[in-house]
Chains A and B, each alone.
Chain A
Amino acid sequence: MISDATLADHGHPKPGFIRTYIFSLDHKMIARQYLILGLIFLMVAGLFAVLIRAHQVNPGRPLLVVGNMLTKVAGQAMTGDVYNSLFTNHGAMMIFFAITPIVIGAFGNFIIPLQVGAGDMAFPKLNMMSFWVIFLGAVLIVASFFMPNGSAAGGWTAYPPLSSGKDASGSAYLLGRGPLLWILAIALAGTSSLMGSINYIATMLNMRAKGMTLMRVPLVTWGLFYTAVLNVLWVPVVAVALFQVFLDRALDANFFVPAMGGQPLLYQHLFWGFGHPEVYILILPVWGLVGDLLSVFSRKPAFGYKLTVLSMGSIVALSQVVWGHHMFTSGMSPVLGNWFVLLTITISVPTAVFFLNWLATLWRGAIRLTVPMLFSLGVVFVFAIGGLTGLFNALQTFDIHVHDTYFVVAHFHYTLAASVLFGAFAGIYYWFPKMFGRTMNRTLGTLHFAFSFIFMNCVFMPMFVVGIGSHMRRIVDWTKYEYLGELRPLIEFMGIAAVALGLAQLLFVFNFLYSVFFGKRAEQNPWQATSLEWVAPTPIPHGNFIEPPVVYCGPHEFSNPGVTERDWIMQTEDTGVTQS
């Protein structure tokens, strides 16, 4: 049901255990559920990534410890089917079950109602359902591994006819029914995003507190709002594409069977129609978050707030008409290709505005290098690399050379893995005190940042070189090609760095678990930030605010000369000296 009454109407004053921790209607608890789900999948999919890189170091031999678990015959090296399944699920889990739940599910649920000054989401029951739908999806994607012949192995992009299983090579992947579960799992994750997005948009538009005009909403909530808009529009499109694959596979439909007149290229258009907005779906909240955090920790108002909101909006618009740059080699009309080149590189203009605003925010600030700040600065660096290498991929002729090579892999890992993940860590370290009422250890956090930053670059920087060296992605054994032999030192280096990157995350796992139970009790506003979530008491009660907040200024009132005893003005303070 869409028009739910809220907890305040029907909830009990003191709900029981199940109502509090499992089928909770409270957006803060749902956010914590999303966070935990996302972190678990982040670990699983991250482990897959480490296995992939460790395997590539010496692809002819079985891996240590796990080698025998991954093959049917003991002592045998990883086969193509297993390897394909590993990277397919690494991608799918990271995108749909790790990054989406953390950045959109957890942050979105936790932050949007708080930052706009609402008591809860617009539709709390829908919100609860959205978590349990993605949870069901998570169960299905895990279950797909235990089906005979294993899970999906056609890449996260799942191009048919390979993914729809319409050929006779007899590969295990083509015979299995696990991929059907995999498709359902992704569809459920998408449905969950859709439900969440409807909630986010309705909350952002209709639930703002008095005085909270749209131009006073913090940037991260703007990012989440734009993300929700893209989700509402494009998740249904990928659902259609995946259902078509599903029907081809399960019921012998003919969407992608050329002998019956089907068109495999159709899938690619539908998929990338969603697929390109999807990368912005994931990164828009992070852009907003970085904009906010740079302002908080340089104690300076965000530079060009309105322009940043506008730039994000223009990227949302542009992102929907550039999908063709994923298909320069697909046999699509080259005339179309030229338009896609032009539209794609135009995205660099709003992106340049971001960088200008970020740097100008830092300029003449009083910078505090806290852990969230370090990760935000990390985002600025890795996103600069990811964004600039995106230009290379937008250029048709060069893209034809590096398409489906590690160059592309390195590029989207700089934007998605490095940028979004660092953004996610920044957000976790930043909101942890509000979420769990305790603070995370700063020393461990700083070490976590330092190691993550170094090893992330050690893994993906050489990957650009490897990609330009024409190393195809998704091949189980690069030693089959002689010309790739020269890349060996780089591949070995990436393998070692990937294992080290994986180990560095243990610092975070320990810090997180330790701090949840034994961390120092947090104050109400530990970062001396100004937005509404820091007005609410810690821990936040049901209904969030003691009394309905009234907003008098924008979210970045730092170092206002009108107030001398401290350098920040809460959004709820009526000082009369603010401009925004």
Chain B
Amino acid sequence: MYPKNISAHGGEVDHLFNLAFLLTGITLLLIVGIMLWILIVYRGRPGRRAHYSHGTSKGALILTAVVAVVVFVGLDVTLAIEDHHAYKIMYGTRPKDPVVVQVFAKQFEWHFRYVGTDGVFGTADDIYSLGELTVPLNKPVLLRMRSADVVHSLFLPYMRRKQDVLPGQTVELRFTATQTTEQARAERSDPNYHSEISTIAGWFRFRGENTERLDWFSVNKPEDDEDDHHSKKAPVSLLPDPKAFDFEIACAELCGANHARMRGVLTVRSEKKYEAWVAEQSKLAQSDEAPEINDIWIGWTIAPPVTTGSNAVEPKESS
């Protein structure tokens, strides 16, 4: 599975996928194999007559029942049990003391707010961030999310997690990160590193070098041409620099014209560095250089009471 998982629960999802891929793959091969075999063996030839049967014999009924039971138990029940197992890990017990971050989705930006050093929302030392979510390593994180306008969906590809953010509701999303951004950068700088997708995509790499964009269907912009002809720059790799690698956050629910630009960055820091970051940002927030606070936060002030129960929580705080 791609991109590489960096969450505590993501492994379960990957495992579920592998199992489902194996089971359905076998089923598909069976169907296609039997079909091709029949097509070859029983192709129509002059003088050959088909076998006359309506499939209503006892044997046929038993065969149908067997197939139904095998599919139900072998595919459905097996996968449902595995899914329920993953589901319990994803949603199950609520962590005692999570790092709470408030998220406000707005066309086409992700806004984040942290309690700061005092542990309470709605005070002067709150940290506000636009587009960058910073979380500590190996600690449960609880996002409490609202939308200011339309339906958005916070998508953490590296976490196998996604949660729609509907206006008028406060929804939650929980995860625990298992790799820091720094570790990921180091890992990707290794020349031997390659993700699974590169391997699969590699099969489709039907035209040599990976540095040029295919432009069969598009017009070359005039300024591009000038660049190419006059400055003769060396072709630059289209793959990003691993040293500047970041985990990305996306919006997965169509939210308007600039939906594709609703990108965010997830920065995972080790616990120590995270605490240092909170202290530094908190201080900055109280200084004169503090950035202006976006209007959307007005009215969402009270610290969220952490309740047990379902995934979606009705807005209990003021709104």
Contacts and interface: CB of A to CB of B under 8 A. Distances in A.
A300 B38 CA distance: 13
A401 B159 CA distance: 8
Contacts of A264: 151, 166-168
A401 B32 contact: no
Contact of A63 (B1, B49, B218): B218
Interface in A332-370: 332-335, 337-338, 341-342, 345-346, 348-349, 352-353, 355-357, 359-369
Contact of B169 (A265, A302, A389, A397): A265
A401 B162 contact: yes
Contact of A468 (B17, B55, B149, B213): B17
Contacts of A265: 166, 169
Contacts of A474: 254, 259
A120 interface: no
A475 B55 contact: no
Contact of A495 (B56, B80, B108, B214): B214
B87 A338 contact: yes
Interface string B148-173: 01110101010011111011110100
A79 interface: yes
Contacts of A346: 72, 76
A443 interface: no
Interface in A75-89: 75, 79-81, 84
Given A81-B257, A474-B259, A489-B205, A481 B51 contact: no
Interface in A499-513: 499
Contacts of A554: 54
A366 B45 contact: yes
Interface in A52-79: 54-55, 57-58, 61-64, 67, 75, 79
A481 B205 CA distance: 20
B79 A345 contact: yes
B162 A391 contact: no
Interface in B1-58: 1-3, 12-13, 16-17, 20, 24, 27-28, 31-32, 34-35, 38-39, 42-45, 48-56
B249 to A, nearest CB: 10
Nearest to A358: B35
Contact of A345 (B80, B169, B201, B312): B80
Interface in B49-91: 49-56, 60-61, 63-64, 67-68, 71-72, 75-76, 79-80, 82-84, 86-87, 90-91
Interface residues of A, number: 129
Interface string B234-268: 00001110000110101111111111110100000
A378 to B, nearest CB: 11
B28 A64 contact: no
B257 A299 contact: no
B315 to A, nearest CB: 9
Nearest to B256: A171
A148 interface: no
A384 B50 contact: no
Contacts of A262: 168
Interface stretch (A98-106, A419-427, A541-549, A555-563): A555-563
Contacts of A169: 107-108, 149, 256-257
A173 interface: yes
Given A62-B219, A75-B219, A80 B76 contact: no
Given A304-B55, A469-B2, A401 B13 contact: yes
A210 interface: no
A330 B260 contact: no
Nearest to B151: A159
A306 interface: yes
Given A301-B54, A380-B35, A352 B67 contact: yes
Interface stretch (B95-103, B192-200, B280-288): B192-200
Nearest to B85: A397
A569 B239 CA distance: 65
Contacts of A341: 80, 83-84
A476 to B, nearest CB: 5
A56 B202 CA distance: 19
Interface residues of B, number: 109
Nearest to B10: A401
Contacts of A201: none
Nearest to A362: B38
B272 interface: no
Contact of B79 (A155, A305, A395): A395
Contacts of A142: none
A401 B246 contact: no
Contacts of B107: 167, 169, 171
Contacts of B238: 485, 488
Given A80-B259, A349-B72, A396-B83, A263 B163 contact: no
B87 A398 contact: no
Interface in A155-179: 155, 159-162, 166-169, 171-174
Interface string B193-233: 00101101110111000100111111111100000000000
A243 interface: no
B312 A331 contact: yes
Given A299-B44, A364-B42, A474-B259, A329 B153 contact: yes
Given A263-B168, A333-B310, A472-B155, A305 B54 contact: yes
B123 interface: no
A129 interface: no
B311 interface: yes
B162 A400 contact: yes
B76 A349 contact: yes
A364 B60 contact: no
Given A334-B310, A392-B20, A405 B150 contact: no
Q: What 9 pairs across the A-B complex have the smallest Cβ distances?
A: A258-B168, A303-B55, A470-B157, A80-B257, A475-B260, A61-B218, A364-B51, A167-B149, A331-B312
Interface of A: 54-55, 57-58, 61-64, 67, 75, 79-81, 84, 153-155, 159-162, 166-169, 171-174, 258-259, 262-265, 298-307, 329-335, 337-338, 341-342, 345-346, 348-349, 352-353, 355-357, 359-369, 377, 380-381, 384-385, 388-389, 391-392, 395-398, 400-401, 403-405, 462, 465, 468-470, 472, 474-478, 480-483, 485-490, 492-493, 495-496, 499, 554, 556, 558-561, 567, 579-580
30 contacts: A67-B218, A79-B257, A80-B259, A167-B150, A169-B256, A171-B256, A298-B42, A303-B53, A304-B55, A307-B64, A338-B87, A348-B75, A349-B76, A353-B67, A362-B38, A362-B39, A363-B38, A363-B42, A369-B39, A391-B75, A392-B20, A395-B16, A470-B250, A485-B239, A486-B239, A488-B201, A489-B204, A493-B204, A499-B217, A561-B52
Given A173-B257, A341-B84, 5 more contacts: A62-B219, A79-B257, A173-B256, A331-B163, A391-B76
